[in-house]
Chains A and B, each alone.
Chain A
Amino acid sequence: MLKNIQEWILLLSIFGILILLGNWLNYEIVPLSAIPGMIVLIGIALLGLVIQKMLPINLPTVAYVAIIGILISMPWMPGSERIVEWTSQIELLATTTPILAYAGISIGRSWADFAKLGWRTIIVASFVLLGTFLGSALIAEIILRVQGII
């Protein structure tokens, strides 16, 4: 367990450095002011990993991470302003670039399978994604308008 935690901290820190870098280069937030927020995010992810490993319930780690993140930043939680202020210094889009860089490298392995897909599959799969996206947006639009939110 301790060994696991060490490895997780190392890897999350590598991600942290990559994120701070993108955050700085594209969104002009200097690493020094973004470090507290980054430490909070790494802490949340780590806690989620540890809880997942310790609890006998078989929930995915992302569920614990999401719940912890939401709980500590709720307006009713003492000290949440500080958490929100720190983490607001980390741009969401800076966190996604390194993830998708690793993803791209690993996707290369699926390329041979992808190249074998026929044109019909590509058309149908595009409509599958498009259909989900538009269908959900239409329903959301109707309900949000009925509720008077937009």
Chain B
Amino acid sequence: MVDVKGLWKDWRLHTIVLAVVVITELIGNYEFAVGPGVVVLLPMLYAIIIGIILYFTPAIKEKQAKHAEPLIVLGVLLLIAKIGVVIGPSLPQIIAAGPALLLQEFGNLATILFALPIAIYLGLKREAIGMTHSVAREPNVGLIVDKFGFNSPEGRGVMAVYIFGTVFGAIFMGLISGFLATITPLHPLSFAMASGIGSSSMMAAASGSLIAAFPNFETDIIAFAGASNLLSLSTGLYMSIFIGLPLTEKLYQIITRRRHKEEA
């Protein structure tokens, strides 16, 4: 557990966050149409952006930014507690949907088939393996650094996607999930399960947009997204070790060998 000693005394930080919460919640949800789809903007998205901007103002000093990090963990515990008490009563439905929940975890591997060819096409070398073998959250970064080293091309690749996800992941997921769920024929519950990719903030942003777009499914969306996220958190690393990484390396070899042949 991270050290949170004395952090409650940083009143400067808490007061600023209080102001951010008041402003963003008063603005409230905002939806707009893009073609046939709907993009949902939620207070949490404004909150991240305002937070990042505040970092560059004198209001936030380096100390506050350092203090904020361990507090996220405590906040996430309350989020998970809330998700837990939504999952509990929905347990019969979740058990009924168990096969879909388990199998959609393999959908995380789709990123390899989807993103690896693009990375290689853009001219990236072994960085591509680190970048596309998984969604690059903490356990995956650990795996790659452990196997290839921090300063290897693979290590740099996984760190790059990790940084992207940290800064932009929740914003990105919040923007695309409501939009995709409104323009594709797929059911909101399928997207709810897909929201659980193993990062609490990305899951919250993705499922939050779904809830705003489909309020009638609120409870089911939270329960399925939360259950899927817990599954991803507990299986994600093993998925990478046993399937994701070997598959990425194999596919990398196949694609680059073919390109070399064509060039020769």
Measured CB to CB, the residues of A under 8 A from B are: 7-8, 10-12, 14-19, 21-22, 25-26, 40-42, 44-45, 48-49, 52-53, 60-63, 65-75, 77, 80, 83-84, 87, 90, 92-111, 113-114, 117, 120-141, 143-144, 147, 149-150
Query: B64 at the A/B interface (Cβ < 8 Å)?
Result: yes
In the complex, chain A residues whose CB is within 8 Å of the CB of B88: 69-75, 77, 80, 83-84
Is the Cβ of B42 less than 8 Å from the Cβ of A140? no
**Number of A-B residue pairs with CB-CB distance less than 8 Å in the complex they form:** 417
Is the Cβ of B166 less than 8 Å from the Cβ of A107? yes
A-B contact pairs, 18 of them (CB 8 A): A15-B71, A44-B84, A48-B77, A52-B1, A63-B233, A66-B83, A66-B226, A75-B88, A96-B79, A97-B20, A104-B20, A108-B65, A121-B160, A127-B114, A128-B135, A134-B107, A140-B190, A140-B191
Q: Among residues 1 to 54 in chain B, which have CB atoms less than 8 Å away from a CB atom of chain A?
A: 1, 4-8, 13-14, 16-18, 20-22, 24-26, 28-29, 42-45, 47-52, 54
In the complex, chain A residues whose CB is within 8 Å of the CB of B4: 7-8, 11
Residue of B nearest to A109 (CB): B65
Across the interface, A92 reaches (CB within 8 A) one of B26, B79, B92, B233, namely B79
Is the Cβ of A132 less than 8 Å from the Cβ of B163? no
Across the interface, A41 reaches (CB within 8 A) one of B13, B43, B65, B82, namely B82
Query: B177 at the A/B interface (Cβ < 8 Å)?
Result: yes
Query: B143 at the A/B interface (Cβ < 8 Å)?
Result: no
Q: Among residues 44 to 102 in chain B, which have CB atoms less than 8 Å away from a CB atom of chain A?
A: 44-45, 47-52, 54-56, 60, 62, 64-66, 68-69, 71-89, 91-92, 96-97, 99-101
CB distance from B83 to the nearest CB of A (A): 7
Number of chain B residues whose Cβ lies closer than 8 Å to a Cβ of chain A: 128
A90 vs B80: C-alpha distance when bound (angstroms): 13
Is the Cβ of A141 less than 8 Å from the Cβ of B81? no
A150 vs B201: C-alpha distance when bound (angstroms): 27
Is the Cβ of A130 less than 8 Å from the Cβ of B114? yes
A131 vs B104: C-alpha distance when bound (angstroms): 12
Across the interface, B176 reaches (CB within 8 A) one of A84, A133, A138, namely A133
Across the interface, B72 reaches (CB within 8 A) one of A7, A49, A87, A99, namely A99
